[in-house]
Amino acid sequence: MPTPEQLRKLRYLSDTVLYAEAVTFIRRLVNDEDCSTLPASQVMGLLNIANASSYAELESFIKHQRERNWPASKSSIKTFYTELEKVFSAMRKRITGEFELVEPGANGKAANQETEEVMVLLARDFIQHLIAENGLLAVEKAQERARRR
């Protein structure tokens, strides 16, 4: 279980790093890469998995969603999970480096477990932030469509 000091730092990182990165992440996909916003069914599924599972289970869900054979009309979902996997893969490395959440060089079962526990908390917050922004983007896009009509 993360220590009170780790939790304090996680909160700080969530406010100062993850929030801005999650907003940039989803805005880049929707505005620059022409992806659709994430549909409600995916939002619910991702939130449920993120809040109830271990990081290994969340990782496996993301991989499964990425590998699914999505129809062309839902190719944005595949892009979303492909990019999310990359973000989390990079974030895992930042835990011991930039974020200074776990001592670098620590090995063994206990160290791995500590990294997993910290990683799921980072991932949950990132997902919470990106889903909140995804909702706003969906409203913006709907308003744009209504104005054009």
Q: Which residues bind another protein (CB under 8 A)?
A: 8-9, 11-12, 14-16, 18-19, 125, 128-129, 132-133, 135-136, 138-139, 143
Give the nearer residue to another protein in terms of CB position, either 15 or 67.
15
**Both tokens assigned to 100:** 């200074």
Give the nearer residue to another protein in terms of CB position, either 82 or 128.
128
Query: What is the Cα–Cα distance from 139 to 148, expressed in whole angstroms?
Result: 14
Give the nearer residue to another protein in terms of CB position, either 71 or 104.
104
Cβ at position 38, least distance to another protein in Å: 12
Give the nearer residue to another protein in terms of CB position, either 59 or 133.
133
**Both tokens assigned to 83:** 């990019």
Query: What is the Cα–Cα distance from 125 to 18, expressed in whole angstroms?
Result: 7
What DSSP line would sit under 78-130, residue for residue? HHHHHHHHHHHHHHHHHTTTTT--S-TT--SHHHHHHHHHHHHHHHHHHHHHH
Considering just the CA atoms, what is the radius of gyration of the chain in Å? 17
Cβ at position 117, least distance to another protein in Å: 18
Cβ at position 89, least distance to another protein in Å: 23
Cβ at position 54, least distance to another protein in Å: 22
